[in-house]
């Protein structure tokens, strides 16, 4: 296995209770997490445990209060040039819980994908971009691609919109897709299709996926490894089968006892 990304003592505090209260919330506290190439790792925890904060730290939406993120052996804090940051953001895109968050309602599907290609794939000319747009739409199981590319987000179902979110991410030629509760807003009957899509993207595109969820059953279905979050900490981590067969932390035990 080859390490792709590692965090060391990753910490993010927020000021709470007004500017002068001096109170600080430890949303993410001292997190060590490793993500290997081509692995699906599930980050599981209850609402408010810090999962989305980790996602935004990894996507470099904001900087950590303390600790560091090391990507392919290089600390992210050292990426100061715009070009390097842009390249990192292309390598590590996010897909959000609400499919509309990734899609601009005023633009056709092709717009978001083309925008990503122009920004992150300067090597491609116009014809190659067009071909790549078709390729990524097909890669997420949407057919016929030419027709899907012409649609507006409101002309797609929730599941299709979420697939477009993944297609936009693929256009960046990513190394790690951060999927923050990507199926939580979808009907139960179409969730499985999205989980299978993520498994296929790992196989076919060779990406790693950080699958964030509060649903341990889907984590069991999809992930190689699991990290359990509680109160801003990772309280337990290991191969999914091992953690779920013999959970060590009381919170993991509680999570499992709640699965029917």
Residues that bind ligand ADP (CB under 6 A): 14, 25, 27, 45, 47-53
Binds 93, which of Mg ion, ligand ADP, none (CB < 5 to 8 A, cut-off by type)?
none
> Is-contact 213 207, C-beta < 8 A?
no
Which single residue is written with the structure tokens 């919109």? 161
Which one, 52 or 240, has the nearer CB to ligand ADP?
Answer: 52
- What is the phi/psi pair of residue 231, to 5°? 60, 40
Closest C-alpha to 42, from 250, 199, 204:
199
Q: For the residues of 153-221, what is the DSSP string, one character each?
A: GGGS-HHHHHHHHHHHHHHT--SEEEEESTTTTS-HHHHHHHHHHHHHHHHHH--EEEEEES-HHHHHH
User: Closest separation between CB of residue 121 and ligand ADP, Å?
Assistant: 31
Interface positions, 41-70, toward Mg ion (CB under 5 A): 51-52
Binds 50, which of ligand ADP, Mg ion, none (CB < 5 to 8 A, cut-off by type)?
ligand ADP
Distance CA 184, CA 205 (A): 24
Which one, 52 or 162, has the nearer CB to Mg ion?
Answer: 52
Which one, 7 or 160, has the nearer CB to ligand ADP?
Answer: 7
User: Closest separation between CB of residue 110 and ligand ADP, Å?
Assistant: 31
Which one, 52 or 110, has the nearer CB to ligand ADP?
Answer: 52
Q: Which residues bind Mg ion (CB under 5 A)?
A: 51-52
């Amino acid at each position: 296995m080859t390490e792709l990304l590692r965090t060391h003592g990753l910490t993010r505090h927020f000021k709470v209770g007004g500017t002068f209260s001096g109170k600080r919330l430890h949303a993410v506290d001292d997190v060590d997490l490793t993500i290997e190439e081509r692995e699906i790792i599930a980050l599981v925890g209850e609402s408010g445990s810090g999962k989305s904060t980790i996602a935004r730290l990894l996507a470099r939406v904001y900087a950590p209060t303390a600790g560091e993120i090391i990507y392919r052996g290089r600390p992210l804090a050292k990426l100061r040039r715009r070009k390097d940051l842009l390249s990192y953001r292309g390598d590590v895109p996010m897909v959000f819980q609400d499919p509309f968050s990734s899609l601009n309602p005023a633009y056709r599907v092709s717009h978001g994908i083309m925008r990503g290609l122009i920004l992150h794939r300067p090597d491609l000319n116009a014809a190659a971009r067009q071909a790549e747009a078709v390729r990524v739409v097909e890669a997420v199981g949407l057919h016929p691609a030419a027709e899907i590319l012409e649609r507006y987000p409101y002309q797609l179902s929730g599941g299709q919109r979420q697939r477009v979110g993944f297609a936009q991410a693929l256009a960046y030629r990513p190394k790690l897709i951060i999927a923050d509760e990507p199926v939580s807003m979808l009907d139960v009957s179409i969730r499985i299709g999205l989980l299978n899509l993520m498994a296929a993207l790992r196989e076919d595109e060779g990406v790693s996926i950080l699958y964030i969820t509060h649903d341990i059953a889907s984590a069991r279905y999809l992930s190689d490894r699991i990290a359990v979050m509680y109160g801003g900490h990772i309280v337990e981590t290991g191969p999914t089968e091992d953690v779920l067969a013999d959970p060590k932390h009381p919170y993991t035990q509680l999570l499992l006892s709640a699965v029917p």
